[in-house]
Amino acid sequence: MSSKHVSTLIVGSGPTGLGAASRMSQHERTMHMKLDYLLIDANEEAGGLACTDVTEEGFLFDLGGHVIFSHFDYFDGLINAACGTDTWNTHQRVSYVWMRDRWIPYPFQNNITCLDVPDQIKCLTGLVAAKAKPMDGKPKNFNEWIDKVMGEGINEIFMRPYNFKVWAYPTSEMQCSWLGERVATADVDKAITNVLNKTVAGGWGPNAIFRFPKEGGTGGIWKNVSKNCVPQDKQQYNSKVVKINAAEKKVTLDNGDVITYDKLLSTIPLDMTLRMVAESETEDVAAKCRSCADTLAYSSSHIIGIGLRGVNPHDTKCWLYYPEDNCPFYRCTVFSHYAEKNCPDPTVMLPTLQFGDGRSASGSQPSSGPYWSLMLEVSESAAHKPVDMDKVVKECIQGCLNTKLIEAGTEIVSIYHRRLEHGYPTPHVDRDGVLAEALPLLKDRDIWSRGRFGSWKYEVANQDHSTMLGVEAVDNMLFGSREFTLNYCSLVNERGRKYTDMKFSI
């Protein structure tokens, strides 16, 4: 067992932790400051929830549907400095909703012209009724917001079932302050015009054009940030925090080592941080920490990857949405479309594991490609939506068959499954009250809890947001600067806005 001290300890090497560490490094170079900091992580290498796994057969799968689009020049500069500017594929988003046995262009609420007439009528009458009745005060929850903005028809047909599949919580238990650019509203005039003219709308949202690495997946970005933008002697891996003593300003690692600090930036999930901090607090503070931790809601995620032999039959489709109960997944990404090297080289010889309809292919001889792949996401919550670990892969493959993603004779050559306990930080109706109490309580103890789960704000949980949460936390620690991304989420997410006031430089 050993002990050491650093002025600033950063826990977690995902986008937030690496954003913080790279900002420290930048300040050292450009401002000629000598900063005493250390980044630690429980895993063997950088990436956090933005890492990429590689199957035995050579298929890459991210831990969810990650793509690169950005609100910040600083973020662009950081990842370009880490990876170079010629290492990216640029894609136009091609997304659809699969329901009623057909493809409906995304977003659904702008394309109800693609539905049968009875469904069109239900959606349009709901939209008209919603517009005719002015919103009386702020909606109490997400479900009420959908009804008041889009109408009961769109809510019943798409929004309510789809969002339950995503969040594993009913929309009536979710607040609506997180929405911003995350959910397209519906325009009744355009909706009626599109239906009458049989016009399809598209192109909505901040990620209509996105980047993806040519090789290494999303995880490769953060490995490069770790390698090229943060000194190696400022990073320590295989170091899991198991205790936080806020009074003594020390963390204990799973191997018994102790690190003391002056300031702590933690990207550990907030509920876990609060429970660890509670262990060394007075009884009343400990009770408050545990109450906050118990109130925070989250869903777990199952990532299922399927490697397939043949040519991708889905053209340029990127990610696809599934609101119906004919499959367990809410989203499918045609992951092979993002980068050629997300699949093995066509010359690689692989046996067939099984066929699309579940038939065994035991004894099949290895043969060559080409190969393509699908990445499926399934949500889980203890409160509302349990998932059977032993059946979910089989059910997903059957779901691919049901929704015509694959055919009965499609050859499956690789199967991947990983469960993330903390998958989505749920914007529950009680969330903001918890954050208003918990985050200041920790900061009063010189703990900045930041990141996708550190600050528990899904509305600023993309990779660019998460990076800036770390960057701005460091500036707040060092100079007292405001944390814009954390505290002004709706302004950060103003559509089309790009923040150019901060640059990353080597």
For 3-51+69-87+214-297+427-492, CATH number? 3.50.50.60
* Predicted pLDDT of residue 21: 98
* Predicted pLDDT of residue 176: 87
* Predicted pLDDT of residue 496: 65
pLDDT at 202 over 70: no
pLDDT at 464 over 70: yes
**27: DSSP letter:** H
Cα separation, 266 vs 273, whole angstroms = 8
* Predicted pLDDT of residue 184: 61
294-307: pLDDT as tens digits? 999 999 999 999 99
* Predicted pLDDT of residue 27: 96
471-480: pLDDT as tens digits? 999 999 999 9
pLDDT at 441 over 80: yes
**341: DSSP letter:** G
* Predicted pLDDT of residue 235: 98
* Predicted pLDDT of residue 359: 95
Min mean pLDDT across 110-119, 428-437, 445-454 is at 110-119
* Predicted pLDDT of residue 53: 98
Q: Do the beta carbons of residue 211 and residue 67 sit within 8 Å?
A: yes
324-368: pLDDT as tens digits? 999 999 999 999 999 999 999 999 999 999 999 999 998 889 999
* Predicted pLDDT of residue 354: 97
Cα separation, 481 vs 464, whole angstroms = 19
pLDDT at 41 over 60: yes
* Predicted pLDDT of residue 110: 85
pLDDT confidence of 153, banded at 50, 70, 90? very high
Burial of 420 (C-beta count, 10 Å sphere; 0-12/13-18/19+) = middle
pLDDT at 269 over 90: yes
Q: If residue 244 lies in a helix (H) or strand (E), which one and from where to where?
A: strand 241-245
Q: Considering the chain, what percentage of its residues have pLDDT values greater than 70?
A: 97
What mean pLDDT is predicted for residues 74-90? 95
Q: Considering the chain, what percentage of its residues have pLDDT values greater than 90?
A: 82
- Give the residue, 171 or 504, on which the prediction is more confident: 171
Rg of the chain, C-alpha, whole Å: 23
Average pLDDT of the chain is 94
Burial of 202 (C-beta count, 10 Å sphere; 0-12/13-18/19+) = middle
Cα 134 to the chain's mean position, in Å? 34
pLDDT at 225 over 80: yes
397-406: pLDDT as tens digits? 999 999 999 9
pLDDT at 317 over 70: yes
162-190: pLDDT as tens digits? 999 999 999 999 998 887 655 666 677 77
Which amino acid belongs to residue 6? V
* Predicted pLDDT of residue 195: 82
Domain spans, the chain? 3-51+69-87+214-297+427-492, 108-197, 299-425
What mean pLDDT is predicted for residues 310-325? 96
pLDDT at 204 over 60: no
- Give the residue, 132 or 479, on which the prediction is more confident: 479
Cα separation, 19 vs 455, whole angstroms = 15
What mean pLDDT is predicted for residues 187-205? 75
What mean pLDDT is predicted for residues 253-278? 98
Which amino acid belongs to residue 384? H
